[in-house]
Amino acid sequence: MDDAPVLVLFRHDLRVADNRALSAAAASGRPLLPVFILDDIGQGPRPLGGARRWWLHHSLLALADRLGTLGAPLVLRRGAMVDIVRELLAATGSRTVFWNRRYDPGGMAVDTAMKTALKSEAIAVESFDGHLLHEPSQIRTGTGGPYKVYSPFWRALAAQPEPRDPVDAPASLRPWGGDVASDRLDDWSLLPRHPDWAGGLRAEWTPGEDGAHQRLAEFLSGPIDGYGEGRDIPGRDSTSRLSPYLAHGEITPFQVLAAVRAAGKNVPAGDSEKFRKEVAWREFAYHLLFHHPDLATRNFNPAFDAFAWKTDDALLAAWQRGQTGYPIVDAGMRQLWQTGWMHNRVRMLVASVLVKHLLIDWREGEAWFWDTLVDADCANNPASWQWVAGSGADAAPYFRIFNPVLQGEKFDPEGAYVRRFVPELALLPDKYIHKPWEAPNPVLARAGVKLGQNYPVPVIDHQDGRDRAMTTYQAMRGDI
C-alpha cells in the first residue's frame, strides 16, 4: 500500500464530522496528513479581524484535539497556500491533495490557481462541498442570470432536492509515519495581549465543533419554539447563535437542517420554516458575492456612488463605542464589543443609524463589524450592510429610516436588553429607558443618570437626522 499521505487541507471547515474531504481521504485507506495553513499575506481571503482571530485560535485547539484523538495530528503552517502545499508535497512524497471548497473571491482565486498548477504537475486534487447548501454558480433565474431578489431565490433554493444527509465523522484516521515541522499556534499571536480585550468573548462562547453541536441542541430544545416572533426580541435567548460556528465551518448547514428535520413534530412548522429562510439568507449572500466579488467595497447599486457621505471621526467613534445617546443602539454596540456578537434586529438598527442618521458610509460600519464580530462573514456582512444602506440587492428602501426610540419600545419594551448592556440606565423606569432625555430631573436623579456626563444626549435628533438623510438621498437622485 502506498505510504505517501493524502494532504487534507482545513480552511473554513474546522470539524471532523460532515467533512467530506476528510472522510474521502480516510476512506482511501491511505495515511493522512491534516494541515491548516494560515495564509494571511494578502494573496487569498480577506485578512481576519480581531474577533475572528481569537475564535480561530481556540477552534484550532479544538480541531487539533479531535484529530489527535482520531490518530492524525494537525500540522500548522503559515504562508502562501500554494507554496506551503508544494513544500509539504515534496517533504512527504504525497501526490494527492483533498480540500473542501471555499466561496470567498480571494479563496476561490487561490484554489482555482492551485488546482490548475498542481494538476499540471500530475498531483491528484479533489474538492468537496460542505460550506453551502448550493453551488452559487448553479442556481439561475429563468433567463439564466443570477438572482438579485431574495424571495425568488428562496423559492428556487427550496425547489431543489432535499439537502443531502451529513456525513459521519471517521471512526479513526491512519496517520502518516513520517515527520514534518509544524508551527506553534501561540507563535501566530492570534490572541489579543496588550490589552487582552477578549474576556467577554471567553465568557460567552465555546469555539469548536463540540461547542457548535451543544449550541444547536440548546436551540432545538427551546428557542426554536416561538422563533418566528422571538427572534426579534434582543433581550431573550431566542436565536440560534450558530453564526460564528457556521462562519468557521465547525458545523455545516447540512447538519443544522438535518437536526431541524429530526426534531420534526417537536418544532412548530412556522418556526421551522422561518429558521430555514434565515439559513437561506446566508446562501443568498454567497450567491450575491459569487456574482459580485467586490460586494464589500462597491455599491451593488451604482447610483449610490453619487451619495454624499459625510466624514466625521467623532460621530463614528461615538457609534463604535456605544455613546450615541440612543439606548438600544448603544446597547447593541456594547454587546458587540463585549461579546463579539450582536442580535440581528439590533444590527439592522445600528446600521441604519450610522448610514442614515449620521450619513456615514456603510463601508465604515462594515469594516468595524468585520473586525469585531466573531461571526464576521465575507458574504453576510457586506450584503447585510448594503441591504440596510439601500445600495444593495433587494435592499430596504432608503426612506425606511428606523426610529431608535420606537424600535426600542417595540422590541425591548421592558428594557431588559438596554439594562444589561447600558447599566448606567438600569434604574430608569420602563417609560424612559429608551428616551432618558424626556425623563423629569427627579426621575433622572433617582436613577443616578446625569445626561451629558455619565450618559450622552443623542448625537442627533431623530427627526433632524431623518430629514437630512432624505434631503441627501433626494439630491443623489436629482430630485432637488
Catalytic residues: 278, 281, 309, 344, 362, 385
Please check whether residue 242 is in contact with residue 257, taking contact to mean a CB–CB distance below 8 angstroms: no
Q: Could you tell me which residues are beta bridge partners of residue 10? A: 36
Alpha-carbon span 125 to 288, nearest angstrom: 27
Count of CB atoms within 10 A of residue 133's CB? 21
- Which H helix or E strand runs over 144? none
Cβ-based neighbours of 457, under 8 Å, separated by 6 or more: 325, 437, 451
Alpha-carbon span 440 to 432, nearest angstrom: 9
Please check whether residue 165 is in contact with residue 258, taking contact to mean a CB–CB distance below 8 angstroms: yes
Count of CB atoms within 10 A of residue 264's CB? 8
- Which H helix or E strand runs over 146? none
Return phi, psi of residue 392, to 5°.
Answer: -100, -175
Count of CB atoms within 10 A of residue 237's CB? 11
Following DSSP, what letter does each residue of 224-292 receive, concatenated? TTTHHHHTT-TTS--S---HHHHHTTSS-HHHHHHHHHHHGGGS-HHHHHHHHHHHHHHHHHHHHHHH-
Count of CB atoms within 10 A of residue 413's CB? 13
Alpha-carbon span 133 to 345, nearest angstrom: 25
Tell me how far CA of residue 316 lies from CA of 323, 370, 427, 452, in angstroms.
10, 15, 28, 18
- Which H helix or E strand runs over 433? none
Q: What is the CA radius of gyration of the chain?
A: 24
Alpha-carbon span 141 to 149, nearest angstrom: 10
Alpha-carbon span 282 to 154, nearest angstrom: 11
